[in-house]
Structure formats: structure tokens, C-alpha cells
Amino acid sequence: MYDRDTIELALLALEEGMSQGEAAELAGVARTTVGNWERGRLPHARSEKRAHRLTRPPQRAARMSAPDAKEGPLNEVERAAYEAAMTENMLLRAVLDDLKGAGSHPASMSNRRKCELGERLRAATGRPLREITAFLRISRSSYEYWRARLSRPDKYAALRGRVRELFEEG
């Protein structure tokens, strides 16, 4: 079973225009596996209660931009799956935009950065805190801890800048 980060990396690579082979090489998996993931055949989390299960709606609902006139309006299940896919897509794009600016991997985001991103997502989407924390994989207590400290200046900002300079020189 592949971890969530590997699957997300491959799917994001596909969304960015990479071929299945390129995405597979980037994620370190077989091309056929990436093809299955692209078609919506994703592994599910073991527990139904986990809020951040890695699931996708059926491809038919994910590719539709509006109800198809030939098939009639979407039923409630299809509409919910469509809205969930659109929300997840929007959140993933926001995370990707944030990560591209800093040049890091989602698994290496600090809780402070997750909280900063969560605050931006909450303001932009109006989604409940429960969904944001589940999506960012940060506990509510850690989120609240960092949210209380966001207004404080980073006491290590100068040191971080110097470390970054030294790293780039090396």
C-alpha cells in the first residue's frame, strides 16, 4: 500500500501535465499504478471514521463541470462527490501554490506554515476548521497553538535567513 504523499505527488504531477511515466518515475512507483490512480482506483484508508481519507469520487462526477443534459441532473450522492472533489482540488492547488513559492515537499511543512496556510484557506473558502485541519494533517491543538503565535515575530528569523544563505552557498 502506498502512502498518501506518494499518491498525491503522482496525481499532482499528472495535473501539472506530466505523462504517466514521468509521474511514476517522480513518485517512485510503476506506470500502471499511476494509471490506476488517474482512473480513480485509489486505496482507501482502513478506518471509515478518519476525516482525511484518501478517496476520490467516480471519474464521471469528477470530470463533469455541470449536470449532463443527456443524463439528467445529478443525484445527491453525485453532487456531494462532485463538490468534495472540487473542494479538494481547490485546496490542493492552494497547497501547491504555497509549496512552489517555498520549494519544499508537503510532508516537510512545519506546523507554523500549515497554520498560516490554514488561515488563508479558511478566509478564502469558508470551510470549517475541522476540514482544514484534517486536510493539512495537523491536530486542532497544534493548529490553535500556532494560530495564537502567528502575530508574534519569529525570534529565529535572522538565524533562518543566515542558514538559508549558507545552504545556498554550499
Q: Phi, psi (5° rounding) for residue 54?
A: -90, 95
**How much is the pTM?**
0.40
Query: Given CA atoms 41, 3, 56, 39 in this order, what sign does their dihedral have?
Result: negative
pLDDT, position 100:
61
Q: Is the pLDDT of residue 118 over 50?
A: yes
Instruction: Return the ∠ at Cα 135 (arms to 139 and 57), rounded to 5°.
Output: 145
For residues 56 and 84, give the distance between their C-alpha atoms in angstroms, rounded to a whole number: 8
User: Domain span at residue 126?
Assistant: 110-170
Q: Is the separation of the CB atoms in 125 and 90 below 8 Å?
A: yes
Sorted by sequence, the CB contacts under 8 Å of residue 66 that are 6+ apart come out as: none
Residue 116 in domain: yes
Specify if 147 maps to a domain: yes
37 within some domain: no
Per-residue pLDDT, averaged over 55-75, amounts to 50
In a domain, 50, yes or no: no
Inside any domain, residue 163: yes
Give the count of domains, the chain. Answer: 1
The answer to whether residue 85 sits within a structural domain is: no
Given a contact cutoff of 8 angstroms between Cβ atoms, the answer to whether 107 and 5 are in contact is yes
pLDDT bracket for residue 49 (50, 70, 90): very low
- Residue 157 or 42, more confident: 157
